Homo-oligomer: A and B are copies of this chain.
Amino acid sequence: MKATVRVELKDGVLDPQGVTIRNALVDMGYPEVGSVRSGRIFTLDVDADGSASAKTRVEEMCRRLLANPVIEKYTIEVIE
């Protein structure tokens, strides 16, 4: 089973990396870019009985290791 985890900063949390990328894009000739937010994505191969149990386990992994719940939010998508 494949699980995709998207980890992004919560709304309102400053994203200096995103600001830097946005400024670079504007300098490179893309003034249409208003803002950029950056995040991480993880693709996990997980051995599980079903997608519900896989999701529960991956959610635990997010809380414990993959994300920082204080400043980050995450979404999990499980594909058979």
Contact = CB atoms under 8 A, between A and B. Distances in A.
Interface of A: 6, 8, 18, 21, 24-25, 28, 30, 32-48, 57, 61, 64-66
A29 to B, nearest CB: 9
Given A6-B41, A39-B40, A41-B41, A46 B65 contact: no
A33 B65 CA distance: 13
Contact of A44 (B33, B40, B46, B64): B33
Given A33-B44, A41-B41, 13 more contacts: A6-B41, A18-B42, A21-B42, A25-B65, A28-B64, A28-B65, A32-B57, A33-B45, A34-B46, A35-B44, A36-B43, A36-B45, A40-B40
